Chains A and B, each alone.
Chain A
Amino acid sequence: MPPFPSPRAVADFSDRLLAHDLPELPADRRRAAVDFAGRRIEGLPSPVRIGVGLVAATTSGLGRLAGPGRVVRFAARRPVPVLSEYVRLVRSLAYAFVWETWPDTAPDGTPAATAP
């Protein structure tokens, strides 16, 4: 039985959301944050994981119809019930990871300036 939610659907959404929120976050850091969020979502309690899986599948389907970038931009800005909980979940995990790992990251994701 394939994993649910689909790790790829979660990763695609998380990656686009972080690229939207933190546009200057380097790709390798974004990938690490997306991986972290994916692992924690995989470990959610089973009823919650099923709910997240349904939302992830829906956003993924909508993305195929309307374009994944549009769906993520909409989700990031509009507090749509249930969908906004998914956005909050991914954001919470990813932001906590980014700032715990690289505390002096700027709010747009720019890494701290390297000391001369």
Chain B
Amino acid sequence: MTLGRALQADVLVIGSGAGGAPTAALAAEAGHDVVVLEEGPLVRQGEVVPFSLEQMGRQYRAGGVTPALGLPSITYTEGCCAGGGTEINSGLYRRPPVEVLTRWGLDDDAVTEIYAICDEVEKELSVQTVPGAQLPASEALRRGAADLHWRHDESPRWMEYPAGPAAWQGRRRSMTETYLPRAEAAGARLLTGHRVDRLIFDASRAVRAEVTTADGTPTTIDFRDVFVCGGAIQTPALLQRSGRRRGIGRTLAVHPTVKLTARFDDEVNVADDVPVHQVKEFAPDLSFGGSASNPGLVALALSDAWDRFGPAVTDWRHLAVYYAAITSVGRGRVTAVPGLRDPVVTYRLTRRDKQLLGQGLARLGLLLLEAGATEVYPAYRGAPVVRRPADLATVRATFSAGRASVMTVHLCSTVPFGDNDTAPAHPSGLLKATTNVWVNDASLLPDAPGVNPQASVMAVAIRNVRQYLEARR
């Protein structure tokens, strides 16, 4: 649906991902006239192969090529489609740990409320473990961790499985399958292909959104209240373009990851799904898991030392890609620059972060050798082929984050909530110095939770929109 004329709404929701979709559903079900603006297209599940280049072209921002500049640069991905990141991620689900919620300043009652919302979300999204056989690459991770006596478990996912299937036969319960249909059933209007250029303020009150449609047509939407849910990069960029800069975009937090490829005697490669086991022995500082491993992504993971690793690519059916993720103490920035359509994104890893990435890669290599990998290929320039534990000494000696392909998918904390003066948003999500602008997405989390953040984002968003609806009654 597109339009070239001005619209009006009680509640404007900008973005339709893990924050925006439940916000829209609850507001619409409470009787408000809701418009949801989504910059990307609507792509139904099954239209594209998960983790393929076609999916990246259609559902990721900039085709999935979005770096945070720094030494090294960190490649991140953002969903740009109806449903946002929930349409493209792995579907893994972790409740925020209680110590994280406490660190964020939530008291006992608030923690109880967040977990009650998690119960609801888990039911709505069918969060569960795999009822049938695991992917071979996931089983390898479990086996290696068990042999080393390292703490590990299977991460639940928001998936529906037909009776007795394997992991790759499930159907994702993303936002286009859950909260967005609920919102539309309650009367919300979802407009895809609509980018919000800026919000217009009258003193402390936002009154209008200036919008450009996918075909370049400018339009406007007037509203009573607005929820900005564009994700940790686009939300601060929009607020800055709208003249709100204080404390916004300065504290980008991510979980940086480095990768390696492991080769097994058996066929382990499944092109369109990811392993669900995770290793938490060194959490929250370090955690290990499996990545998408289609042949293109395998080649990508081998490309940093192609002269040594390249010959393995012909054996891609026996290869799987894994990651080591860290909880970083470094921070990044999102800065909207006048005249540029997209923000400048930077991230600075600390020395501790860089050391931890190297440690993580070596420990992950050890785990996979223990799991039966015959060769391991760490993704950094000049890396050796690892065939036995003794080779990991070379990894420790030669790893440098500057030579590595560092990536992340978890972006948050660019408009963090807090009671202190420096936090740009109130705990309710209301943007300080405004009376009707709420932020309700990953931007709002005070820091990276050390686990997959989608559950945290959804729980906080639902809590906030309920508080808003209660106050509006």
Name the contact of B303 in the complex, choosing from A43, A50, A79, A91 (C-beta under 8 A).
A91
Q: Is the interface of B mostly helix, strand, loop or mixed?
A: helix
**Chain B residues with Cβ under 8 A from A93's Cβ?**
65
- For window 65-116 of chain A, which residues contact chain B by CB distance below 8 Å? 79, 84-85, 88-89, 91-93, 95-101, 103-108
- For window 280-306 of chain B, which residues contact chain A by CB distance below 8 Å? 294-300, 303-304, 306
How many Å lie between the Cα of A48 and that of B65 in the bound state? Answer: 10
Task: Choose, from B307-315, B368-376, B386-394, B430-438, the stretch at the interface.
Answer: B307-315
**Chain A residues with Cβ under 8 A from B66's Cβ?**
44-45, 48
- Given A40-B65, A45-B66, A85-B73, A100 and B342 touching (CB < 8 A)? no
Residue pair A96, B342 in contact (C-beta under 8 Å)? no
Say yes or no for B318: interface residue by CB 8 A criterion. Answer: no
Residue pair B314, A95 in contact (C-beta under 8 Å)? no
Residue pair A45, B342 in contact (C-beta under 8 Å)? yes
Say yes or no for A3: interface residue by CB 8 A criterion. Answer: no
Say yes or no for B52: interface residue by CB 8 A criterion. Answer: yes
Name the contact of A92 in the complex, choosing from B69, B298, B300, B403 (C-beta under 8 A).
B300
Residue pair B300, A95 in contact (C-beta under 8 Å)? yes
Residue pair B381, A95 in contact (C-beta under 8 Å)? no
Say yes or no for A21: interface residue by CB 8 A criterion. Answer: yes
Name the contact of B405 in the complex, choosing from A47, A79, A88, A101 (C-beta under 8 A).
A88
How many Å lie between the Cα of A36 and that of B304 in the bound state? Answer: 20
Say yes or no for B53: interface residue by CB 8 A criterion. Answer: yes
Chain A residue nearest to B73 in the complex (CB): A85
**Chain A residues with Cβ under 8 A from B343's Cβ?**
45, 47
Residue pair B403, A79 in contact (C-beta under 8 Å)? yes
Say yes or no for B62: interface residue by CB 8 A criterion. Answer: yes
Name the contact of B299 in the complex, choosing from A39, A45, A79, A95 (C-beta under 8 A).
A95
Residue pair B303, A95 in contact (C-beta under 8 Å)? yes
**Chain B residues with Cβ under 8 A from A50's Cβ?**
340
Q: Is the interface of A mostly helix, strand, loop or mixed?
A: helix
Residue pair A107, B65 in contact (C-beta under 8 Å)? no
- Given A47-B343, A47-B344, A79-B403, A99 and B313 touching (CB < 8 A)? yes
Could you give, for residues 299-343 of chain B, a 1 whenever the CB lies within 8 Å of some chain A CB and a 0 otherwise? 110011010001101101000000000000000000001001111
Name the contact of A43 in the complex, choosing from B52, B63, B311 (C-beta under 8 A).
B63
Residue pair A97, B314 in contact (C-beta under 8 Å)? no
How many Å lie between the Cα of A91 and that of B306 in the bound state? Answer: 10
Name the contact of B62 in the complex, choosing from A36, A45, A85, A104 (C-beta under 8 A).
A45
Residue pair B300, A96 in contact (C-beta under 8 Å)? yes
Residue pair B310, A100 in contact (C-beta under 8 Å)? no
Residue pair A97, B296 in contact (C-beta under 8 Å)? yes
How many Å lie between the Cα of A88 and that of B297 in the bound state? Answer: 14
Residue pair B403, A96 in contact (C-beta under 8 Å)? no
How many Å lie between the Cα of A89 and that of B52 in the bound state? Answer: 17
Residue pair B381, A107 in contact (C-beta under 8 Å)? no
Name the contact of A100 in the complex, choosing from B295, B306, B344 (C-beta under 8 A).
B295
Least CB distance from A2 to B in Å reads: 17
Could you give, for residues 419-458 of chain B, a 1 whenever the CB lies within 8 Å of some chain A CB and a 0 otherwise? 0000000000000000000000000000000000000000
What would be 8 A-B contacts, judged by CB atoms less than 8 Å apart? Answer: A45-B61, A47-B337, A47-B343, A47-B344, A51-B69, A92-B405, A93-B65, A98-B296
Residue ranges of A at the interface with B (Cβ–Cβ < 8 Å): 21, 36, 39-41, 43-48, 50-51, 79, 84-85, 88-89, 91-93, 95-101, 103-108
Residue ranges of B at the interface with A (Cβ–Cβ < 8 Å): 52-53, 57, 61-63, 65-67, 69, 73, 294-300, 303-304, 306, 310-311, 313-314, 316, 337, 340-345, 381, 403, 405
> Nearest 8 pairs between A and B by C-beta?
A100-B296, A107-B310, A45-B342, A99-B299, A103-B295, A96-B296, A95-B299, A99-B295
